[in-house]
Structure 1
Amino acid sequence: MKWIDQAAYACAAQWSKCYCVTVSANGIRFIKPIKVGQLVEITASLVHTGASSMHIYVVVKSGDATENTTSVANRYLTFMAVDCEGNPVNVPAYVPEDERHMQLDLYQSA
């Protein structure tokens, strides 16, 4: 779970060019356990912005290094950009780039 938060933070900080804090991490659910020694791949992408908030879609894949199968858990995390005093900072607006991102943005806007 720490890696999920760190990947989402990196995405939010890169977009906002500011320090960011986690606002929410809703219901992290792993479809299958990640076992010691398995490879883990985590990707994070921005799917929606508010004035100072950013919704990040995180995909976690894991699997045995000797097999071609992976397990996936998808989750959204919300981050807020803040200044050095902890006050919210406006972030650039996000415009979805393709159909997949448009669907993810619509889900977040609902």
Structure 2
Amino acid sequence: MGESVIYHNPRCSTSRKILELLRDNGIEPTVIQYLKTPPTRAELQKLIADAGIPVRAAVRSRDALYAELRLADASDDELLDALAEHPALIERPFVVTAKGTRLARPVDDVRELL
């Protein structure tokens, strides 16, 4: 299998569960702690497009920063700019394997990548 990647936040229980699921299935992914090493705007745009989801689905809309930045009516471009500038707003985890890219929420969404 090609290289696998997880955009991970170790403080997130879902992210930890996904990492464990990958490892339990023999996949040792490259772990990118996106709060320490944020993806670029272009990388975010590609992850979102490859996952086949709308930009808004990749945003943590319940985060206080979302309201503070007034992103409820933001365009996709404005949302991408906000995600690139404030990686804490990125919904997690994104998982990339040879079988594709998914925003692994719910956890079962990642099973098709195993």
TM over 0.5: no
What TM-score do you get using the length of structure 2 for normalisation? 0.23
Q: Which has the higher helix share?
A: 2
What TM-score do you get using the length of structure 1 for normalisation? 0.23
Q: Which has the higher strand share?
A: 1
Question: Which is greater in Rg?
Answer: 1
